[in-house]
């Protein structure tokens, strides 16, 4: 049994293959957190300590027991008003204007299978793969009930959490904060690892020691954002890639979020993540309910590498969906960096001709094909093909491209509108802007109010008109600004708009997924501005960054790999000098990081020399050989490219029969010292043969001492080695 309720001790124990999670209902009905970590049996309530502490108040019903305080005890789901003065997970305003509530245990249910969340993305599982625990807490005064949902996937070492609040009272309350998961640790000295960045430089890794006070990350932008990824890791001080305890919380949501962690006055640690509570104020009338998005948690006693692999396995097979979930994605060429807005249908066709010659499998026509869209100042909102610009009907163009043996894909940005568009001229109130104020423009575009169903319906219809009439096999779903003017013309409560927008987005995407199950969707938001687990439920791949520079990509994809499977990472070979950095790297070097994801090209193939074309053909042949291993193999980070002179990583077959080593030299110096890259994850005691040279290496030496990289001159050299177990 993966979920056990012990009546005697009133404990709930959740077991996965390698981890255990435990909580307890105390004598007053408070739900206290006991343990999360390495798998164990038994009752851990001995960890709770009770002492009379100054200024840590006591629940009224504790009577004269001054040792019982929610301010010091580890909470499972803390709320304001319980006497816990740390940052609460749950807060509301009552009908009388008072803040907070007092949540106590009422009952629980253990259910086979994994719960789902209506209208929200969530991890899914077959009934025999998962179990659900639903613990009901209640505030007797307001009648607000809170369901704490736990999904346990033992084989994946994953525990998911979500929260449903129901107003069973007689008056309206207003939810002010609903975090999806909170974890309290009574002991420990942790580091916090987060992923920060900016447009074209996403998911840099920051590891800092946790101190007293609260460290907050999040997004107020209406998207999960380039600036902070909705994911946090707590690691013991000495935890490395390969050893030591660590915990991950990954938020399955694509809008604003807030992650908080820090040490309290008693040196205890709290970490929690959920919806951004700024711009959130959610009235709940009697009978109404509110569902918070899911948070996925995993624990590894074997370091950060195992932690990531737990998330990879779960997201790749139990969050991503559809036809392309398990299949190797087509190698594509995208027109963006090849032509930007400056193309005709013939240019696109020629790009496809070159692509066909090289062995590329799909042509993606990026921005610029619709309405009046010769630059990024107009046209968004009008999803009609600009046949004049293309010089031929889209149908003809697609048929000709299909005739070359290529699939055809197209770029869309359904959430946006330019003021210079027919849609805006006929429905200015569909754009998010506050009456009487001028909106913040970004890329000269405004957001459509996707919290309104009629707006979603109207854009959906336009997009379907295109998808229904043409043979389109891929969509790149883009989103190129942050939400600044939060206002919905019809909403009575503006505090619901941020959340309502994301639900509208998910509704749109779900309808697309259901209606076009065979279309592959790639998410995008100025590259990786919405690279989150929520999007992965609809789009099994996401354009990782607008930065296609091979060297920067080594670092961006390293950061991304902590939380997301390699099968989700959109990565392309582009031209040199690189359009974002001006850096020059060889085709080989550009190919190595690009292959560590959903491989493709994004450059004017017509401008390539004959030698470059031959090299690309070879690159594509190689990719086909490794694609299955890259997509489904276990991913190992071999170095930290923020600190090391080499960026190196490997894919290891689950049965360890083969490995693909990748390395990019990030620095070159005179009279270089030798760079040894240590392999990981190989089978001890075995020999591995380099497929190209035939050289044979002992696995243990490869993992203990490493492999010396060739000492060749030249910047940013890259190496790939395919090792086969003898």
* Residue ranges in contact with ligand GLA by CB under 6 A: 336, 366-367, 376, 411, 478, 480, 524, 526-527, 543, 546
CA–CA distance, 344 with 392 (Å, rounded to integer): 9
How many whole angstroms separate alpha carbon 482 and alpha carbon 440?
10
Is the distance from CB of 679 to CB of 659 less than 8 angstroms? yes
| 58 versus 418: smaller Cβ distance to ligand GLA | 418
Residues 489 and 494: their CA atoms lie apart, in Å, by 9
Q: Which is nearer to ligand GLA, 540 or 600 (CB)?
A: 600
Q: Quick check: 100 and 79 in contact, CB under 8 A?
A: yes
CA gap 346, 247 in Å, rounded: 52
State which residue, 526 or 681, has the beta carbon closest to ligand GLA. Answer: 526
- 445 and 335 Cβ atoms separated by less than 8 Å: no
Rounded Cα–Cα distance for residues 598 and 647 (Å): 19
Closest distance to ligand GLA from the beta carbon of 268 (Å):
42
User: Measured at CB, which residue is nearest to ligand GLA?
Assistant: 367
- The smaller minimum CB distance to ligand GLA, of residues 603 and 677, is found at 603
Of 22 and 378, nearer to ligand GLA (C-beta) is 378
134 vs 376, beta carbon nearer ligand GLA: 376
CB of 316 to ligand GLA, least distance (A): 23
The token pair at 56 is 């840590």
- Given the complex with ligand GLA, which of 74 and 379 has the nearer CB atom? 379
Minimum distance from residue 543 beta carbon to ligand GLA (Å): 6
Number of Cβ atoms within 10 Å of the Cβ of 267: 12
Residue 559 C-beta: closest distance to ligand GLA, Å:
18
Q: Which residues lie across from 259 on neighbouring strands?
A: 273
Do residues 426 and 370 make contact, with C-beta atoms less than 8 angstroms apart? Answer: no
Q: Which two tokens stand for residue 394?
A: 């889209």
According to DSSP, the residues that pair with 336 across neighbouring strands are none
Shortest distance (Å) from residue 548 CB to ligand GLA: 9
Q: Which residues 6+ apart lie within 8 Å of 670 measured at CB?
A: none
Residue 336 and residue 342: Cα distance in Å, rounded?
Answer: 9
Give the nearest distance from C-beta 257 to ligand GLA in angstroms: 21
Per the listing, tokens 């050989």 go with 625
- Residue 512 or 524: which CB sits closer to ligand GLA? 524
> Nearest approach, Cβ of 602 to ligand GLA (angstroms)?
8
For residue 357, what are the CA distances in angstroms to 350, 364, 399, 601, 617?
A: 11, 16, 17, 14, 9
Distances (CA, A) of 416 to 257, 412, 434, 491: 21, 10, 16, 19
SS3 295: strand
State the minimum distance, in angstroms, from the CB of residue 524 to ligand GLA: 5
- The two structure tokens encoding residue 539: 């789009």
For residue 440, what are the contacts with CB-CB under 8 A and spacing of at least 6?
Answer: 484, 485
| Nearer of residues 296 and 364 to ligand GLA, judged by Cβ | 364
Token pair for 146: 């809170």
Partners of residue 385 on adjacent β-strands: 370
**What are the catalytic residues?**
532, 612
Residue 268, CA distances (Å) to 72, 188, 210, 404 in order:
8, 7, 11, 63
Q: Which is nearer to ligand GLA, 169 or 528 (CB)?
A: 528
Which residue number, 125 or 535, has a Cβ lying nearer to ligand GLA? 535
Task: Give the separation between CA 36 and CA 28, rounded to whole angstroms.
Answer: 23
Residue ranges with strand state E in 478-568: 520-523, 541-543
- Whole-angstrom Cα distance, residue 466 to residue 468? 6
In this structure, the dihedral spanned by the alpha carbons of residues 137, 188, 212 and 306, taken in order and rounded to 10 degrees, is -80
**Minimum separation from the CB atom of position 199 to ligand GLA (A):** 8
Distance set, CA 504 to CA 219, 565, 583 (Å): 19, 26, 40
For ligand GLA, the closer of residues 411 and 564 by Cβ is: 411
CA distances from 625 to 44, 602, 635, 680 (A): 50, 21, 17, 21
**CB 546, min distance to ligand GLA, A:** 5
- CA distances 25 to 49, 103, 242, Å, are 15, 12, 36
The two tokens of residue 660 are 């693909």
- At residue 494, the 3 state secondary structure works out as helix
* Strand 282-284 relative to strand 173-185, pairing: antiparallel
Sign of the alpha-carbon dihedral angle for 489, 493, 499, 505: negative
**d(Cα 541, Cα 507) in Å, to the nearest integer?**
19
Q: Nearest approach, Cβ of 719 to ligand GLA (angstroms)? A: 28
Q: How far apart are the first and last CA of the chain?
A: 40
CB of 226 to ligand GLA, least distance (A): 11
Q: How many other CB atoms are found less than 10 A from the CB of residue 519?
A: 18
Residue 594 CB, nearest approach to ligand GLA (Å): 14
């Amino acid at each position: 049994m993966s979920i056990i309720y012990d009546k005697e001790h009133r404990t709930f124990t959740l077991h996965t293959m390698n981890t255990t999670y435990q909580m307890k209902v105390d004598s007053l009905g408070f739900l206290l957190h006991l343990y999360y970590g390495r798998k164990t049996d038994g009752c851990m309530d001995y960890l709770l300590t009770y002492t009379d502490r100054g200024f840590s108040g006591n629940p009224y019903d504790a009577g004269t027991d001054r040792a019982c305080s929610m301010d010091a005890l580890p909470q499972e789901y803390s709320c304001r008003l319980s006497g816990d003065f740390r940052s609460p997970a749950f807060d509301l305003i009552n009908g009388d204007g008072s803040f907070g509530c007092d949540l106590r245990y009422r009952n629980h249910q253990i259910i086979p299978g994994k719960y789902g969340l209506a209208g929200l993305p969530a991890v899914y599982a077959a009934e025999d793969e998962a179990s659900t625990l639903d613990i009901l807490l209640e505030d007797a005064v307001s009648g607000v009930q809170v369901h704490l949902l736990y999904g346990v996937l033992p084989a994946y070492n994953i525990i998911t959490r979500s929260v449903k609040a129901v107003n069973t009272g007689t008056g309206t309350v207003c939810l002010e904060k609903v975090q999806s998961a909170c974890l309290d640790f009574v002991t420990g000295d942790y580091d916090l690892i987060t992923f920060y960045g900016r447009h074209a430089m996403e998911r840099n890794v920051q590891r800092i020691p946790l101190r007293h006070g609260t460290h907050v990350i999040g997004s107020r932008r209406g998207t999960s954002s380039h600036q902070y990824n909705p994911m946090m890791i707590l690691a013991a001080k000495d935890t490395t890639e390969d050893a030591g305890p660590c915990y991950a919380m990954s938020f399955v949501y694509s809008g604003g979020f807030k992650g908080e962690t820090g040490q309290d006055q008693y040196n205890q640690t709290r970490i929690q993540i959920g919806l951004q509570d700024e711009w959130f104020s959610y009235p709940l009338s009697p009978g109404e309910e509110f569902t918070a998005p899911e948070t996925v948690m995993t624990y590894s006693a074997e370091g950060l590498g195992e932690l990531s692999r737990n998330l990879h396995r779960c997201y790749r097979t139990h969050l991503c969906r559809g036809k392309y979930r398990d299949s190797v994605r087509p190698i594509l060429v995208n027109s963006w960096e090849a032509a930007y807005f400056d193309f005709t249908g013939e240019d696109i066709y020629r790009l496809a001709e070159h692509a066909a010659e090289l062995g590329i499998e799909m042509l993606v026509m990026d921005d610029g094909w619709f309405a009046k869209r010769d630059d990024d100042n107009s046209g968004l909102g009008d999803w009609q093909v600009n046949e004049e610009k293309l010089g031929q009907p889209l149908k003809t163009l697609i048929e000709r491209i299909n005739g070359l043996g290529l699939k055809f894909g197209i770029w869309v940005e359904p959430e946006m509108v330019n003021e210079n568009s027919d849609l805006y001229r006929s429905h200015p109130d569909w754009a998010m802007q506050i009456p009487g104020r001028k909106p913040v423009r970004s890329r000269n575009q405004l957001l459509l109010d996707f919290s309104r169903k009629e707006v979603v319906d109207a854009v959906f219809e336009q997009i379907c008109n295109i998808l229904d009439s043409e043979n389109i096999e891929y969509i790149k779903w883009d989103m190129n600004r942050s939400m600044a003017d939060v206002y919905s013309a019809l909403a009575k409560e503006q505090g619901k708009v941020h959340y309502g927008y994301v639900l509208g987005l998910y509704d749109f995407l779900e309808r697309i997924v259901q209606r076009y199950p065979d279309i592959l969707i790639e998410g995008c938001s100025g590259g990786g501005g919405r690279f989150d687990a929520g999007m992965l439920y609809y789009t099994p791949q996401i354009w990782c960054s607008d930065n296609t520079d091979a060297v920067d990509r080594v670092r961006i994809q390293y950061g991304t790999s902590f939380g997301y499977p390699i099968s989700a990472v959109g990565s392309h070979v582009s031209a040199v000098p690189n359009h974002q950095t001006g850096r020059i790297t060889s085709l080989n070097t550009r190919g190595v990081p690009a292959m560590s994801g959903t491989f493709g090209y994004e450059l004017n193939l017509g401008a390539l020399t004959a030698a470059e074309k031959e090299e690309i053909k070879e690159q594509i042949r190689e990719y086909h050989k490794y694609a299955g291993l890259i997509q489904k193999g276990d991913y190992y980070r071999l170095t930290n490219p923020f600190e090391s002179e080499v960026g190196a990583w490997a894919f290891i077959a689950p049965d360890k029969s083969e490995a693909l080593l990748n390395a990019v030299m990030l620095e070159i110096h005179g009279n270089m010292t030798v760079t040894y890259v240590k392999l990981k994850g190989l089978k001890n005691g075995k020999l591995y043969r380099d497929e190209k040279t035939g050289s044979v290496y002992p696995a243990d030496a490869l993992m203990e001492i490493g492999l010396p990289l060739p000492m060749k001159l030249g910047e940013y050299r890259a190496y790939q080695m395919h090792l086969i177990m003898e």
